[in-house]
Amino acid sequence: MNYDMNDVKKIHVPTMAELMAKGEQPDVLFWVGCAGSFDDRAKKITKAFVKILNHINYKFAVLGTEESCSGDPAKRAGNEFLFQMQAMANIEVMNAYEVKRIVTTCPHCFNTLKNEYPDLGGHYEVVHHTQLLQSLIDEGRLTVEGGAYKGKKITFHDPCYLGRANEVYDAPRTLIEKLDAELVEMKRCKSKGLCCGAGGAQMFKEPEKGAKDVNIERTEDAIETSAEIIATGCPFCNTMMTDGVKNKEKEEQVKVLDLAEMIAQANDL
Amino acid sequence: MGISNLIFALSLVTAIFLFRRNVLKIKRNIFLGRDVNRSDQSFLRWKTMARVALGQTKMMVKPIAGFLHVIVYAGFVIINIEVLEIIIDGLFGTHRVFSFLGVFYDFLIASFEILALLVLLACVLFFIRRNGLRLKRFAAKEVSGWPKTDANLILVFEVLLMGAFLLMQGADLALQKMGTAYYVEAGSYPVSSYLLFLFEGMSESSVILFERFFWWVHILGIFAFLNYLPYSKHLHIVLAFPNTYYSNLKAKGAFTNMDSVTQEVKLMLDPDADPYATPDPDSSDDIQRFGAKDVTDLNWVQLMNAYSCTECGRCTSECPANQTGKLLSPRKIMMDTRDRLETYGAEIDAGDDQENQRPLLDGYISREELWACTTCNACTDACPINIDPLSIILDMRRYLVMEESAAPNELNMVFTNIENNGAPWQFSAADRLKWKDEL
Ligand code: SF4
Ligand code: SF4
């Protein structure tokens, strides 16, 4: 994606510490997640989402260097100790800031913060960025026009931890509709959606012996729809699908984009 | 009381006695598992059971198989009303003791016959599908051998039972038409009336012989089938109900937080805690290992899951790891758990030492299987009776990581990175907000 480099108007990203010093509270804490903070591809999603929030003057803040891994990969890999250490440290930070509402672009963080933190003392209202974007559109705070996406064939890959794990299927699809694009479903979608292969800490290890990599199998589903864009809502799915498209040598025909990126771009942000 | 009533009573008592013994054994085995509290939200639990087990909503995802299954299931349940009559007749030497119900009796008998025919046809179709169509999920390695025989035996059993029932009815009808004493004219016979030709030209006594023969085959068959259940995947016809009742009601993504770990982590994070304090002596006797190495480290719901599994393979055919040729099959996880638990129970019965046994981990389920899981929940979503293979996989990973430090190397690096830098990769925590300078 090409953002206009001449756009000198700098976007300010406030941290919780900064707001606290001013005695302010944001409307939402943007939990960036490790991928969104460090991974080059995922950082683009982070930046696109921040641009949208900034564009509508939504009052948000990040934890910055006070954020730490949510613990999801540790937990799914079986390291409950490490998970709980991470969770409790994060909860301590967030409770000190009296965080009430969290938005995140990572379904893994979303799931962990929403479902696994409460037992450990972290009670927050947690939403996925596609849900926040949908509600901002519904409230009329954010307007979206199709722009470059108008009429394009787009398929949505359901992230396991957004879809099956938390039954959020509609928000991302509504966003595709708002882009005036044509949503084409893969043969396996929603609760039957096939995993991209990254979950359960698989992202960080070589796959076990098999006939094929999961992301290739899933990319084939997507290519079968002859969509021009594979929309995702997860930085890990994004990587897996991008690799799959590369492997199939379809980079020219098929793009893999996060919904935040598409909305930012449609709004010329 | 005639000799046949006595034989009948003896068979009935034996059947119930044996069944009870096996049920108690299964119950004991299930409660070898750890405790887990599933006593909350009873209304929602009843609802889940009604919807998933009784209503079979998740079976309908595959409409043809689902429809046939509902026929067999409804048929089997309803025809059991007839078994009640047969038992009373068998015990007291009566014949068609419910016939006083008149028109309603006609209706009952007619529906039993129609259902019996439908069940019979459905089972034949199931048999053809299972053995003729080479469906991938019925051809997998874990269901060759005994599981395949088991599946076919169940179908053959049901065909025989329904066949015997209809033939018994036909012979009865023939006798009613002959005006044979004792064979009261009652009931309506929409199916077996087509079987009358079989008994044409036979003497009354031979038809009586046939009628008695099929009557006994049918009821003894049912007793045998009842006692076959505990050894078979067919046990699901009973366990599907508690299994769905006690199933997980939380979001599928919510994995349990281990309380034992919470206590330790709290201690570690508490600056006032004394690291050399002797552990509370009261709590020392319930020290458990972290995660699961063997069946007794699993909880009773997971063990009940294992006994309830129908080996249908719907989980495995949705599993991304399995579909891409990995060793992992969630169905095999459940079958292994049951197999191991049954051996474990048998060893207890024999008074043998468990130490020499092959535990679930490595003895049945390999590490390669466990590490192939993406924790995607496709299996738990697909299971028609809400079985959760993923929770077993996770518990076994917990054992591997926390008791044996035996995670794959790349994952150990991830752990170290998270511990040191707060991210799974080797980036400095101080750089976490660097992206904002690129805006
Ligand atoms: S959760 Fe694991 S076992 Fe279940 S379907 Fe997904 S990869 Fe397969
Ligand atoms: S776990 Fe469920 S879906 Fe899998 S084989 Fe058993 S009954 Fe079928």
Judge if the beta carbon of residue B65 lies within 6 A of ligand 2.
Answer: no
- Interface contact A195-B320, CB threshold 8 A: yes
Say yes or no to pLDDT of B219 above 80: yes
**Domain annotation covers residue B408:** yes
Mean per-residue pLDDT over chain B, rounded: 92
% of chain B beyond a pLDDT of 70: 95
Q: Which residues pair with A125 in a beta bridge?
A: A101
Q: What is the mean pLDDT of chain A?
A: 94
Q: Using a 6 Å cutoff on CB, does residue B373 contact ligand 1?
A: yes
- Distance from Cα A164 to the centre of ligand 1, integer Å: 12
- B155 and B291: one domain? no
User: Looking at the domain A5-135, which fold is it?
Assistant: Rossmann fold (3.40.50)
The answer, for B394 touching chain A at a CB cutoff of 8 Å, is yes
Hey, what's the torsion of the CAs at A46, A20, B424, A250, to 10 degrees? 0
Whole-angstrom CA distances from A230 to A164, A255, B158 are 19, 6, 49
How many whole angstroms separate alpha carbon A164 and alpha carbon B253? 8
Domain membership of residue B161 (yes or no) is yes
Quote the pLDDT of residue B184.
86
pLDDT tens-digit profile of A24-80? 999 999 999 999 999 999 999 999 999 999 999 999 999 999 999 999 999 999 999
pLDDT at A2: 47
Residues of chain B in contact with residue A235, where contact means CB-CB under 8 angstroms, are none
Single out the residue of A200, A213, A138 nearest to residue A164, CA to CA. A200
Rounded Cα gap, residues B260 and B283, in angstroms? 11
Evaluate whether B186 touches B99 at the Cβ level (below 8 Å). yes
Is A64 in Cβ contact with B433 (below 8 Å)? yes
Distance (angstroms) between ligand 2 centre and the Cα of B280 equals 42
The lowest-confidence range among B143-147, B282-286, B312-316 is B282-286
User: If you take atom 8 of ligand 1, which residue's CA is the nearest one?
Assistant: B319
DSSP H or E run through A218:
helix A214-224
pLDDT digits (tens, 9 = 90+) for B47-101: 999 999 999 999 988 899 999 999 999 888 888 888 999 999 999 989 999 999 9
pLDDT of residue B282 exceeding 90, the answer is no
pLDDT tens digit string along B397-413? 999 999 999 999 999 99
pTM passes above 0.80: yes
Domain that holds residue B274: 259-278+287-429
> Which numbered ligand comes closest to the C-alpha of A214?
1
For chain B positions 343-372, those within 8 Å of chain A (CB to CB) are 368, 371-372
Fold of A144-266: Rossmann fold (3.40.50)
Q: Model confidence over A99-114: pLDDT tens digits?
A: 999 999 999 999 999 9
Radius of gyration of chain A from its Cα atoms, rounded to whole angstroms = 18
- Cα distance between residue B407 and residue B377, in whole Å: 21
Bridging pattern class, strands A125-128 and A60-61: unpaired
In which band, very low, low, confident or very high, does the pLDDT at B176 lie, cut at 50, 70 and 90? very high
Report how far residue A83's alpha carbon sits from residue B375's, in angstroms, rounded to the nearest whole number: 16
**Any atom of ligand 1 within 6 Å of the Cβ of B377:** yes
Task: Show the tokens assigned to B258.
Answer: 């281990």
Tell me phi and psi for residue A30, to 5 degrees. Answer: -90, 110
Residue B208 domain-assigned?
Answer: yes
Structure tokens at B386: 């809400």
Which pLDDT belongs to residue B81? Answer: 84
Q: Do residue B69 and residue B162 come from a single domain?
A: yes
Same domain, B214 and B268: no
Task: Tell which atom from ligand 1 comes closest to the C-alpha of B372.
Answer: 7
pLDDT in tens, A128-162: 999 999 999 999 999 998 778 999 999 999 999 99
pLDDT of residue B276: 62
Quick one: B134 and B67 in the same domain? yes
Q: Are residues B7 and B110 in the same domain?
A: yes
Contact status, residue B56 vs residue B65, Cβ threshold 8 Å: no
Is the CB of residue A48 less than 8 Å away from at least one CB of chain B?
no
Q: Give helix then strand counts, H and E, for chain A.
A: 11, 8
Distance CA A70, CA A266 (A): 31
Cβ–Cβ contact B102 with A under 8 A: no
Indicate if B7 and B149 belong to the same structural domain: yes
pLDDT at residue number A147: 79
User: Same structural domain for residues B135 and B219?
Assistant: yes
Q: Domain check: are B19 and B112 in the same one?
A: yes
CATH number of the domain that residue B328 is part of: 1.10.1060
- A1 pLDDT band, cuts 50/70/90, is very low
Asked whether residue B238 is domain-assigned, the answer is no
Name the band, by pLDDT with cuts 50, 70 and 90, for residue B273: low
How many Cβ atoms sit within 10 Å of the Cβ of residue A24?
A: 12
Mean pLDDT lowest among A97-111, A243-257, B290-304, B343-357 = B343-357
Tell me: do B368 and B424 sit in the same domain.
yes
Q: What is the pLDDT of residues B327-374, one digit of tens each?
A: 999 999 999 999 999 999 999 998 877 666 899 999 999 999 999 999
Check if B103 contacts A (Cβ < 8 Å).
Answer: no
Interface of A with B in 230-249 (CB under 8 A): none
Per-domain residue ranges for chain A?
Answer: 5-135, 144-266
ipTM here? 0.94
Say if residue B341 is in the same domain as residue B386.
yes
For residue A30, give Cα distances in angstroms to A9, A60, B219, B306: 21, 6, 67, 42
Count CB atoms within 10 A of the CB of residue A191. Answer: 17
The verdict on B195 and B114 lying in the same domain is yes
- Reference A194, options A231, A245, A159, A153; nearest CA is A159
pLDDT above 50 for B127? yes
Q: Average pLDDT for residues B369-380, to the nearest whole number?
A: 97
Query: How many folded domains does chain B comprise?
Result: 2
Span A62-75, pLDDT tens digits: 999 999 999 999 99
Mean pLDDT within B233-259: 95
Q: Residue B277's pLDDT band (boundaries 50, 70, 90)?
A: low
Ligand 2 binding pocket includes B395 (Cβ within 6 Å): no
Confidence of residue B235 (pLDDT cuts 50, 70, 90): very high
Tell me if A38 and B373 make a contact (CB, 8 A cut-off): no
- Which residues fall within 8 angstroms of residue B148, CB to CB, at 6 or more apart? B138
Tokens representing residue B99 in the block: 């016939």
Test A166 with B253 for CB contact under 8 angstroms: yes
Are residues B216 and B79 part of one domain? yes
Instruction: Please provide residue A125's backbone torsions phi and psi, each rounded to the nearest 5 degrees.
Output: -90, 115
The reply to whether B220 falls in a domain is: yes
Q: How far apart are CA A63 and CA A61, in angstroms?
A: 7
Give me A68's structure tokens: 């730490």
d(CA A103, CA A96): 18
Structure tokens at B269: 């994070």
Size of interface A-B (CB pairs under 8 A): 219
pLDDT score for B286 = 58
pLDDT at B189: 93
Beta carbons of B257 and A120 less than 8 Å apart: yes
Asked whether this chain's domains A5-135 and A144-266 adopt the same fold, the reply is yes
Res B274: pLDDT? 64
Query: Is 70 exceeded by the pLDDT of residue B387?
Result: yes
